[in-house]
Chain A
């Protein structure tokens, strides 16, 4: 579900931070998950070696993707899986629609797939008269609320339990005022059990696909992907072409890293390996490009395709934690989303690489060692060079260029600044100054460094 907003990250973040208690809660909750990640990682002395191995395996995948794709296709077909190729989101959605039409299916159950969010599949199928029900609890909640997920692992992390109780009251018929997570989860369990048992088609994402064996792996804690797929006649698995790994034994490396990085768990409850369809049923795999081959050709940004969607970079990001996933207005939020999205549409997502402090925490926790903060920095340069600068930044940067290029102007500006903060603070402590939002202006120093240096230099010489 991609949000069609024309607002920039900073404007959307402003909506989110209006409720200070909620922001604090969001911030602390995600930081708590980051701490759980640290605890899990520190239990393995070989953690850093595992990250390095995962990074190298993914580098190899990107460098040999052509052959791995062919190898995967060959083996999957030999296993009885039907393989489809989609150049973009539209083609992916049309393939899903065609497969459902051919089977006379108008109701489908879906487990979590960020790719289908990227492709806007639910909205597309709804327009064609096909109903899709999301079965991951968090995704079902945001689907009922008619919102996109705000986090790729925890889709409704922005919602409070009271709000979820209200959503279930309106849509699932429970009494008003219930907010007990146990009760709400049980309600969803009963509701979705009926869905699993009555849907003939199930769509899942793919965490890893193995070139060597033509199988693919889907990881969940809830068991929703398996409930959907094993009860349906048709299982459609959608995957980006970068999800391939060379050999089955490499799953050992990635499954050790994935959930430890994501939630601090040692592994997901279910890591299911699909090799052949059940008797009398079909498995379709859709290999989706949608900009990935372009990103593969961008030397500075191709590393972003190594991502295994653990969300560790979001949980640790000081900007994500305080601005919420929806402020990124793209399917994959946070630092990794901010380097993936501009590849799809530079103009629409020009603001995202600027939604970062470049502190580098994202790169430090990334299980496949993507240089996320460096790519954010490089995207800024590419975007400015191509004329896609966020509007507020542009005006400020022009004034700054003008000031910094002239020493006398710079000194005069410093003097004025110090004088204003000292004698006329109201001139900057107002809402016209974006720096004043959520913070106080600093106290003005008595002198500039230049004045201080001249003075001290004189003292030294004496």
Chain B
């Protein structure tokens, strides 16, 4: 018998009598996540929130912060002024090694832990949000959910190949528990929250 058959046979013999799954819908209280809470939690894990009215404001902020001499990439048409680079033309993903700022859309944010959900559709290249020195992410104000339970309700049917929750810049406390921002991934994370002009059209999902 192969190891596969052996393992499965041993599991079958040794697993205890079937017990049911609990009902976890009880944890989904409330429907709307608070921007204040999200911003506070994100700040607590080293990230920053910028409340903006439109894409032009994002362009102004990025320009003011990073200047025009560094490599900025974004697949967003609204940000073409910042980056003309076509991410589809990349010969090798390793060519992303010197990206200074990457600006990506996220599906939604989670108030309880300061995380945003981004899939490879928004990243274009999976390594981009990790290899960039600084990460900026854009969400709409109406797209903040309170907890991870609400988050999984939204992505349950998502069948993208890769997706990730990102909460703040990369960090480590491996040396004597001293927190250092900028471990292997971005040294900073900014979440641009675009003001809702019409709350009814808040969700893009």
Chain A residues with a Cβ under 8 A of chain B: 29, 32-33, 46, 49-50, 52-53, 56-57, 59-60, 62-66, 69-70, 79, 85-87, 91, 135-138, 141, 154-157, 159-161, 164, 181-182, 184-186, 189, 192-193, 196-197, 221-224, 226-227, 230-231, 241, 246, 248-253, 255-256, 263, 265-278, 287, 289, 293-294, 296-297, 299, 302
Contact = CB atoms under 8 A, between A and B. Distances in A.
Contacts of B153: 249
Interface stretch (B11-19, B48-56, B71-79): B11-19
Contact of A296 (B15, B27, B125, B152): B15
B172 interface: yes
A181 B183 contact: no
Given A255-B165, A267-B114, 9 more contacts: A137-B183, A192-B184, A221-B172, A241-B11, A249-B153, A249-B156, A271-B115, A272-B162, A277-B161
Contacts of A241: 7, 11
Consensus secondary structure, chain A interface: helix
Interface in B14-35: 14-22, 24, 26-27
Nearest to A265: B45
Contacts of A269: 45, 166-171, 185
A85 B4 contact: yes
A26 B108 CA distance: 40
Contact of B185 (A52, A57, A223): A223
Nearest to A43: B112
A85 B183 contact: no
Nearest to A246: B21
B114 A266 contact: yes
16 contacts: A33-B177, A57-B21, A141-B175, A193-B97, A222-B183, A226-B185, A249-B149, A256-B113, A263-B173, A266-B112, A267-B167, A269-B171, A270-B170, A271-B165, A272-B163, A287-B7
B162 A256 contact: no
Contact of A56 (B6, B21, B178, B180): B21
B22 to A, nearest CB: 4
A186 B152 contact: no
Contacts of B171: 221-222, 269
Among A57, A221, A256, max chain B CB count under 10 A is at A221
Contacts of A197: 94, 97
Contact of B174 (A29, A46, A136, A296): A136
B10 A275 contact: no
A297 B14 CA distance: 4
A269 B153 CA distance: 21
Contacts of B14: 293-294, 296-297, 302
Interface string B103-145: 0000000101111000000000111001100000000000000
